[in-house]
Amino acid sequence: MVLDPQTINNLIMGGTAWGLAFLAALWLSLILWTYRDISSRKRNPVTRILAVIIVALLFVPGIIIYLILRPPHTMEEEYQHVLEEEALVQSIEDPQVCPGCGRHIQATWMVCPNCHTRLMKACQECHQLLELGWNLCPYCGTPVPGMRERTHPEDHTNQPNPAGEEISAVKNETVEDEFSDFIHVVEKPEK
Ligand SMILES: [Zn+2]
Ligand SMILES: [Zn+2]
């Protein structure tokens, strides 16, 4: 089988054309890919145009340069990273551990179940949780008996619970007095 020079020439021409077409498609694809990739990493339009120009001018070496210089994370990855950091900072600011034994506790616990350290106290009036250092309930304004016993002569006991019972007993009396007064007032016109 003998090929004449014209056929060989045609084959070389065809091969070259196919190669050029492939290179052109590859070049366009790389430019498109670079544009998409840089768009997910940078919002700055100048940076995007520069990346596309580098790849368009330098072709495959340009892609290598781009891969070396491109920002390591996409904007979505950076956003996730920021969220993770915020969660970490919050967990550091709000440790929620027992001051006695260092175990994890919940904000609503009054006593540590592990070492029995007193964590919070309850308001005698509205039963909201108060920090141990507070001497006044911020929810209802009731003074905390255990903290005010030295300034109030009517509190004789050291333990907060009997003092609380005393206060509630006093309050019940006044309520009953008011109620009897009310009954008295209501009954008076009938008599
Ligand atoms: Zn503890
Ligand atoms: Zn209260």
**pLDDT at residue 1 in the model:** 64
Its pTM surpasses 0.85: no
Q: How far is the CA of 165 from the centre of ligand 1 (A)?
A: 28
Q: How far is the CA of 139 from the centre of ligand 1 (A)?
A: 27
First to last CA, the chain: 140
Q: Specify the residue for token string 């016109």.
A: 189
Enumerate helices (H) and strands (E) in the chain, giving the number of each: 6, 2
Q: How far is the CA of 22 from the centre of ligand 1 (A)?
A: 71
**pLDDT at residue 182 in the model:** 46
**pLDDT at residue 56 in the model:** 94
Residue range 47-100, pLDDT digits in tens: 999 999 999 999 999 999 999 999 999 999 999 999 999 888 877 776 688 888
Given a cut of 70, the residues of the chain with pLDDT beneath it are 1, 94-95, 146-191
Ligand closest to Cα of 141 equals: 2
Note whether 123 and 186 are same-domain residues.
yes
| 14 domain residue, yes or no | no
Q: How far is the CA of 136 from the centre of ligand 2 (A)?
A: 8
Q: How far is the CA of 109 from the centre of ligand 2 (A)?
A: 17
Note whether 65 and 115 are same-domain residues.
no
Residue 126 tokens read as 């509205």
**pLDDT at residue 3 in the model:** 77
Within 79-132, strands assigned E span 120-122, 129-131
Ligand closest to Cα of 101 equals: 1
DSSP 156: -
**pLDDT at residue 31 in the model:** 96
| 107 domain residue, yes or no | yes
Expressed as residue numbers, the domain containing 32 is: 19-73
